[in-house]
Structure 1
């Protein structure tokens, strides 16, 4: 699931968690948990409130 989320962000840029889940074809609640974990690990960040993007 992490790979799907990272791939979507790499292709589309900053997005909201719900949009990331839709684009990746995964459940919104599960996506939210993975997004929080990825942010904690420093793989993604929040450029502005409620948006996430991949660290470049």
Structure 2
């Protein structure tokens, strides 16, 4: 796979918000963040991503 290739399907064990996502839609932007709840910087990054989601949810 390379730039411009379709994204592969994803399988997650748990979702924090929203409905589970089984595939990606063309023209939509997705941000996947893999983090640890015990990591200080990770928690701040997750809070920032939440504010971005609210701002750009439309």
Relative to its length, the structure with more helix (as a share) is: 1
Relative to its length, the structure with more strand (as a share) is: 1
* Larger relative contact order (Cα-Cα within 8 Å, sequence gap ≥ 6): 1
Same fold at TM > 0.5: no
Larger radius of gyration: 2
TM-score, with structure 1 as normaliser: 0.33
